[in-house]
Structure 1
Amino acid sequence: MQCWTDLGQVPRDLGPSVVTIGNFDGVHRGHRTVLGRMVATARSHGWRAVAVTFDPHPSRVHRPESAPELLTGTADRLELLAETGLDGVLVLRYTLELARTTPEDFVREVLVEGLGARRVVVGHDVRFGRDNAGDLGTMVDLGRRYGFDVDALDDVHGDRPGPRRWSSTWVRELLAEGDVAGAAEILGRPHRVRGVVVHGDARGRELGFPTANLGRTEGMVPADGVYAGWMRRVGRDEGLADGYLPVAVSIGTNPTFDGVERRVEAHVPDRTDLDLYDEEVVVELVDRLRPTERFDSVEALVAQMAVDVARTRELLAGGPLVLGPLAGD
């Protein structure tokens, strides 16, 4: 998949193409279903499949004080988009200047002249252009004027009871509760947090459970607790030894030691030989073992950590979680 951060980088002979627009935070199963159908349409016509997205998220520009925590950073979003089979992604820098672009100018400059769109795939609730003045009717009218068709797709719903559609908002709610297994149902994969391993206070090593402490993270950090998951070392082949490791993950402030800084710490069971400092890693959270607790003694904490590690081995014995394919994927 090619990635462009400016229209000037897009090959002039890219088109014809099928194009969709969105933030794609988390690249959840709803996104993947739409993108999968779009890719299939593009292949059947011999066209290119291209997504247009934005960085930073528009909410961080318009209402930074109330912007939602993002499920994925840019690196993970692009990695996940590439897995859908897209030919290209145009990542537009979202600014107030871009926000002032009229709906027609956006369609003409980006979709038509920039990407050679022959078909544009959007949801029924699409809004675009200055003051969100453009809607589905606007897109259809502009399609007639500039020579592209518009596919308006219905919301994609999951298997859980009720009419709620798969959405990034729903995933955030589940993560805020620590329900990473529920979030995985909507994402189609375990939720991931990315960061560089930094030096901590070495307390885990002293207790017999050395941990990789993630520095500044990308990806929403779920509720405090202890989780079972997998750690991928970025830049290493997952098929090679030590590239993909089972981990017991602690998220919280270490209340037993009166900690105040919220941390993400990953322990690799049965391994004391790993040197992960300064490495970028991706931690995938499979299931929550328990909430964070304050223990009356270090001995009680160590005993519980042993139980957590044993449970982690149990949960991950079958290997990484792989969810089944989706219709349209």
Structure 2
Amino acid sequence: MIVFHEPAEVPAGFGPSVVAIGKFDGVHAGHRAILERARVDAATGAKVVAVTFDRNPLALLRPELCPESLIGATQKIQLLAETGIDATLMLRFDEQLADLSPHAFVEHVLVGALGVRTVLVGDDFRFGKGGAGTPETLRELGAEFGFSVEVIADVQSRDAGRRVSSTWIRELLTDGDVAGAGKLLGRPASVWGEVVHGLKRGRELGFPTANLSPDLEGFVPADGVYAGWLIDEGSADRLRSGIRYPAAISVGTNPTFDDVPVRQVEAHVLDETEIDLYGHRVEVQFVARVRGMVAFEGIDPLIAQMQTDVEHVRAALG
């Protein structure tokens, strides 16, 4: 997948294209339905392009209302690439972009840069200065510039009778329900970041952990212990395709010792006591919650519980 960061990077004659526009926060099942429809529409020879943003527009326009993102920009690009689309235009949402009128956005981004033939959006899509543009606005501009517009209905959960949304996924993760969130995402919920040095207490207890930097990407679920996977993508100067390890994952502030000032994500890779991940970029995937976070009265009860946790993780991962 090709990644562009501004319309000027798109080469002349790039189109025709079928474009799906949205925040794509989480690239969940609803987003994937739009992208899959775009791939069908492009089967006659057009390129499939996702147009999205490096942040939630509310982070600039109404920061007090902006929810925490499910994924960061790096994760979004990786997940969009996995859908099989041809390109992503990851626009920097700044004041200049926010001030574009709907007409200017369509003319310069969709038509001028991408040679758009069809645009796909959700029914709650808004664009242009002040959110003035709606799907109906897009249809009117399509008639002017010669492209069609498809509004894709929400994906609904039959069991819950609720539309799949980033809001719902955030609620599940806040409750620690990573399995439920994974069903809506179509993949395990995850965070991504660099492994940094911690207090090394896990190694002292016989359970060495890879500690993720606090500035990681992704929505961190509720405090607790989880079964999941650690995917090692290597260091900045030596990338790799990704080696997956089963892991027991801890989220929280280590209440037994009460000396960790901020919540942290740390993963104990099962059966790999000598693995060196410092400085590596890793993805930590959450598959199932094992238990909540509690404080233990001493080291021996903690070690006993950690041994039990590891067995529960093995069972959860099959």
Normalization by structure 1: what TM-score? 0.92
Question: In 1, are the aligned partners of 2:3 and 2:87 still within 8 Å (CA)?
Answer: yes
Query: Given residue 158 of structure 1, which amino acid in structure 2 is its aligned partner?
Result: S
Tell me which of 186, 189, 204 is aligned to 2:187: 189
Give the CA deviation at 1:195. 1.3
8 Å Cα contact 2:29-2:186 kept in structure 1: yes
User: What SS does structure 1 have at the residue aligned with 2:156?
Assistant: coil
CA drift of 1:125 comes to 2.0
Between the aligned partners of 2:130 and 2:163, the Cα distance in structure 1 is 26
**1:237 corresponds to 2:279:** no
Partner of 2:174: 176
* Structure 2 gap segments, 5+ residues each: 234-238
The 1-side partners of 2:105 and 2:168 are apart by 30
Q: 1:274 aligned to 2:275?
A: yes
Q: Which amino acid aligns with 2:182?
A: A
Provide the C-alpha distance between the structure 2 equivalents of 1:179 and 1:121, rounded to a whole number of angstroms. Answer: 31
- SS of alignment partner, residue 137 of structure 1: helix
Shift of 1:55: 1.3
- Whole-angstrom distance in 2 between the partners of 1:275 and 1:66: 41
Render the CA deviation track for 1:240-285: whole Å, top value 9, x for unaligned: xxx1100000100110101332111100122211011111110000
How far residue 166 of structure 1 moved from its aligned partner, in angstroms, is 0.7
Question: Is the CA contact 2:229–2:284 (under 8 Å) kept in the aligned structure 1?
Answer: yes
Partner in structure 1 of residue 131 of structure 2: 132
1:321 paired residue number? none
Aligned to 1:51: 50
> Which residue matches 1:3?
3
- Within 5 Å, give how 1:1-329 maps onto structure 2: 1-43=1-43, 45-162=44-161, 164-215=162-213, 216-234=215-233, 235-238=239-242, 243-259=243-259, 260-317=261-318
In the alignment, the residues of structure 1 paired with residue 16 and residue 193 of structure 2 have an alpha-carbon distance, to the nearest angstrom, of 38
Q: Is the 8 A contact 2:20 2:34 kept in 1?
A: no
**1:127 Cα offset (Å):** 1.1
Task: State the shift of 1:237 in Å.
Answer: 3.3
- Please give the alpha-carbon distance, in whole angstroms, between the structure 2 residues aligned to 1:72 and 1:161: 24
Count of residue pairs brought into register by the alignment: 311
The structure with the greater share of residues assigned to strand is: 2
Unaligned runs of 5+ in 1: 318-329
Aligned equivalent of 1:323: none
